[in-house]
Amino acid sequence: MLWEGFKLMGVGMATVMLFLLVMIACIEWVRHLNRDFTALEQQKQQERRKSSKTLTKSEALPTVPVEVFAAAITTFESDKNTS
């Protein structure tokens, strides 16, 4: 009985080890296939960082005043209370 348990444990552990090795091989294969895309993506990100640093205050995104949010919330709550 004990011997069968050890055999089952060995087969199970070998199966898990084989599965993990196959998974690692697949991950490395995908990394190898995507290496050019990754380099291009890193270059694009660096260019975006450089361009975002050169933005002036006049090019800054406009902000919505707090009063607009307050009015929208008040309207929503009044509509919700009346229905």
pLDDT band at 61 (very low <50, low <70, confident <90, very high): low
Q: Enter the pTM of the model.
A: 0.48
pLDDT of 59 over the 80 cut: no
The single residue listed with the structure tokens 């933005």 is 55
Cα 12 to Cα 5, 9, 35, distances in angstroms: 10, 5, 35
Cα torsion at 34, 40, 42, 47 (round to 10°)? -170
CA distance 65 to 70: 9
pLDDT (mean) for 41-47: 89
Token pair of 9 as six digits? 């444990």
CA R_g for the chain: 29
pLDDT of 29 over the 90 cut: yes
